[in-house]
Structure 1
Amino acid sequence: MNNNCYCGNSLPFSDCCEIYIKGDKAAPTAEALMRSRYSAYAVHAIDYLLKTTHISQRKYHSKKDIEQWAVTNQWLKLEVIKATESTVEFKAYFLDATLQSQIHHEKSTFKLQNGNWFYVDGKFY
């Protein structure tokens, strides 16, 4: 059995993304936040996804829609292509509701505010 974190790091989930999702610690970088958000989709931590979306963008995201997207798909793998201080380009591999393989390719933008990173928006490929 693979005990690595959902985000692809070799650490167990409990020592990796779960500490951010539970709120024990703030994600130290935009990439760490993005990885923890991917893991949050995998474990259906919808409140964390909303909480880590920048306040200026929350009105564009419905809790119900986020939950549906998280629960409907089977999250398989995260590939980080390139990360800078405030952007992360990644591919999220998943199976959709019909069990068809899908790839979500995005370049996300993040903002550091009051010591916490937040997801702002993304460009989809």
Structure 2
Amino acid sequence: MTETCPCCSGKQYSLCCAPYLTGDALPETAEQLMRSRYTAYARQNVEWLIASWHPSQRIPEMAQRLSESFAATEWLSLNVTCCNHGSHENEAFVTFFARYRENSQIRAIHERSRFLREDHRWYYVDGIAPQVGRNDRCPCGADKKYKKCCG
């Protein structure tokens, strides 16, 4: 039986994010890394989350904090809305909208994540919440204006 990848790519898990989470391959693009990080949250894979975080952003208590967050969180969906190159070939940005359930409440993250490639390997660095206008299309992927959907 084939399992669809949690990253919502529509691909089979074993052919999508699984090779990254098991250490059999490295993502070739920032989007692949972003999707694999979402999948790592969904599958509660602390090791991949830490390994894919830029070393300059890691803190000693990161593994404990991530593990504690898993108990109350169920990841529901991911919508990648934009992928851009940065100021040089080793920088990229991925904008996404992810839904999750935490303590019985549906919540969402809308982020423009920054990635850096060092020694042929992509890392997540940080992110910001992008501005969405009331009349813009909703970043959740619904074909509605933001004000009529998630706004």
| TM-score for the superposition, normalised by structure 1 | 0.92
What RMSD, in angstroms, separates the aligned Cα atoms of the two structures?
1.8
Matched, 1:120 2:140: no
Does residue 49 of structure 2 align to residue 53 of structure 1?
Answer: no
Cα separation, 2, equivalents of 1:61 and 1:104: 22
Q: In 2, are the aligned partners of 1:96 and 1:102 still within 8 Å (CA)?
A: yes
Q: State the SS of the aligned residue for 1:121.
A: strand
Cross-structure match for 1:96: 102
Count residues in correspondence: 124
Unpaired segments of 5 or more residues in structure 2?
86-91, 131-151
The structure that has the greater radius of gyration is 2
After the TM superposition, which segments of 4 or more aligned residues of structure 1 sit over 6 Å from their partners?
A: none
The answer (yes or no) to whether the contact 1:44–1:71 under 8 Å persists in 2 is no
The offset of 1:68, in angstroms, is 2.1
Q: Is the 8 A contact 2:2 2:12 kept in 1?
A: no
Tell me by how many angstroms 1:80 deviates: 0.5
Cα distance change on mapping 1:61 and 1:36 into 2, 3 Å: farther
- Equivalent position of 1:42 in the other structure: 42
Higher relative contact order (CA 8 A, sep 6+): 1
Contact 2:8/2:77 (8 A) holds in 1: yes
Gaps of 5+ in 1: none
Deviation at 1:14, TM superposition (A): 1.4
